[in-house]
Structure 1
Amino acid sequence: MPLETKILFTSDLHGSEVVFKKALNASKIYNVDYLIFGGDMFSSNFILVERRNGDYYLDGRKADLDQLHQSYLTTGFMPIILDNPEDFQNRETRRKLILERLEWQAERFVKIQEEKLSGSKLKVIWNLGNDDPVELDSFMNQRQVELCQGKVLDVGDLKMICEGYVNPTPFETYREIPDSTIFIRLRGLMDKVNSAETILNVHAPPINTKLDLAYINKERKHVGSKAVRDVIEERKPLLGLHGHIHESPGIDKINETRVANPGSLYRDGIFKGVHVVLERKIEGIIRKYKTKTINLIGG
């Protein structure tokens, strides 16, 4: 078994194809063993384009579809073309249209990943987040993408547990549950592993850290999960990888557990990641792990 496990973690791409490609490229540049996605992979902003007599209109003005598509590739803001924009006001119709577009997007991401990593030994693990519709889980599984929601996975000779659901937000997104439920889920998964040899890939960051400061009414406030923090304090995992709060990139420590959030600048097409090297040492018959290096990267 190797003495080191090298990981690149990123999160909150929100459909930016530019950032997705940069993440794949960075994984090769840094020669990591694992590329781990932390959730909110797909578009959560949509632009309604009206089709009328062969032309396209955005907010009543003629629109250039090529320009909208080029902008989408960077920002992840997904155009939805409708003959009657009022159809989007119907909840069922809106959900169906969004899911169709996100499945198209997911298909593109899978093909890009396959093409860019062809012949590579790099392993890619996906988590989905609160802005990713639950229906995408089965869609991605059918395409043999390794999703880790609610699972214990092997990362080398370590374990990783994943949770993409978050504590309640003001936005009523797809994957929100009470914080108490997050605690029960995480504790149940931690019962199956040796916590000292386990990585948490949990979309919600632990509360009261450098990772969970969001702007609310022009003030920065801690909005992370108490459940996630409680589990880290109680079980002392090796590492915590988080996302969700775009404006709060950082590395912190809860007791001896290093925790990190790369942040997100997806709208600008900027990649943000966390590069981690985990080291294994043998002391007699005892195997020990530590975080050798952990750094925020981007570009």
Structure 2
Amino acid sequence: MKIFYAGDLHGGETAFRKFTNAGKFYQADLVIYGGDFTGKMVVPIVEKSGIYTCRYYGSTVKVKKANELPDLERNLRDAGFYPFLVTEEELNQLKESDAERIIKEKQIEVVKDWVDLADERFKAAGIPCIMIPGSVDDFYLDEILNDGKFVQNGDGRVIEVDGFEILSVGGGKPSVFKYPREFSEEELAEKIENAANQVQDMNKCIFNIHIPPYRHRFGSRDFV
């Protein structure tokens, strides 16, 4: 079986679009997305007197024509940010609760668009696709991942593809960042064990787990 795997795109729009075409391009039998759909920051594009200003990566960008906004928004999306068009007056009136609401709305909007796109392209290609949430993906996104018409949310499940069993567990271990979907080592071990108990033939089982295994050569230095 030929598998195309990607993960940790963190809101990068062009990267995800490439992912949805990669299965067909590489003639894969199965495509897996290993988690971390969402970006980590909303970037306000502030309008004042017809000029639009935003700050990201330590730089200030100004746009003087409204018809140039789509390019700026596209650049932000490709970098994994969520552009938020707002007037200076509206920005000054926002509260902390508004910020939480806005990032939630942006995350839901993008993940829904991504799942719809993946549904369309993988169905057309006839290539099964399994997705799982990562550490940064909040629990309110589960409903969207579960609503896929062709792609499947594999989190906590074992899915059979061409005689192989794909065991998937999303989320990650505790970190200093305190991401939404973090579990203790004991909780993760229980999740993996519960999924493993569903496996019929471990010799033909593929583990799809968001966090890198201990001493895995693709893991971070925390694991080697």
Shorter-chain TM-score range: 0.7 to 0.9
SS of aligned partner of 1:162: strand
Please state which structure has a larger fraction of its residues in helix.
2
In structure 2, how many angstroms separate the alpha carbons of the residues matched to 1:212 and 1:118? 32
Please state which structure has a larger fraction of its residues in strand.
1
Corresponding residue for residue 138 of structure 1: 143
Alpha carbons 1:163, 1:201 under 8 Å: kept? yes
1:198 aligns with 2:202: no
2:69 to 65, 72, 94: 65
Corresponding residue for residue 250 of structure 1: none
Shift in Å, 1:54: 5.0
In structure 2, how many angstroms separate the alpha carbons of the residues matched to 1:10 and 1:178? 24
Shift in Å, 1:41: 1.7
Alpha carbons 2:4, 2:28 under 8 Å: kept? yes
Corresponding residue for residue 253 of structure 1: none
TM-score with structure 1 length normalisation?
0.64
Corresponding residue for residue 159 of structure 1: 165
In structure 2, how many angstroms separate the alpha carbons of the residues matched to 1:162 and 1:87? 43
Q: Specify the code of the residue in structure 2 equivalent to 1:65.
A: L
Shift in Å, 1:151: 1.2
Query: Percent of aligned pairs with the same residue?
Result: 24
In structure 2, how many angstroms separate the alpha carbons of the residues matched to 1:82 and 1:133? 25
Corresponding residue for residue 41 of structure 2: 45
Alpha carbons 1:87, 1:93 under 8 Å: kept? no
Q: Specify the code of the residue in structure 2 equivalent to 1:62.
A: K
Alpha carbons 1:42, 1:132 under 8 Å: kept? yes
Q: Specify the code of the residue in structure 2 equivalent to 1:209.
A: H
Shift in Å, 1:77: 1.7
1:124 aligns with 2:129: yes
Corresponding residue for residue 32 of structure 1: 28
* Structure 1 residues 111-260: aligned runs within 5 Å: 111-144=116-149, 145-193=151-199, 194-213=201-220, 221-223=221-223
SS of aligned partner of 1:48: strand
* Structure 1 residues 242-281: aligned runs within 5 Å: none
Alpha carbons 2:12, 2:77 under 8 Å: kept? yes
1:82 to 62, 83, 86: 86
Q: Specify the code of the residue in structure 2 equivalent to 1:93.
A: D
In structure 2, how many angstroms separate the alpha carbons of the residues matched to 1:185 and 1:57? 45
In structure 2, how many angstroms separate the alpha carbons of the residues matched to 1:74 and 1:23? 13
Alpha carbons 1:55, 1:62 under 8 Å: kept? yes
TM-score with structure 2 length normalisation?
0.83
Consecutive unaligned residues of structure 2, counting only runs of 5 or more, are none
Shift in Å, 1:204: 0.4
Aligned length: 212
Q: Specify the code of the residue in structure 1 equivalent to 2:40.
A: S
In structure 2, how many angstroms separate the alpha carbons of the residues matched to 1:175 and 1:198? 25
Shift in Å, 1:118: 4.9
> Judging changes above 3 Å, is the alpha-carbon distance between structure 1 residues 163 and 8 closer, same or farther for their aligned structure 2 residues?
same
Shift in Å, 1:123: 0.8
| CA deviation vs aligned residue, 1:212-245 (integer Å, no higher than 9, x gap) | 22xxxxxxx3248xxxxxxxxxxxxxxxxxxxxx
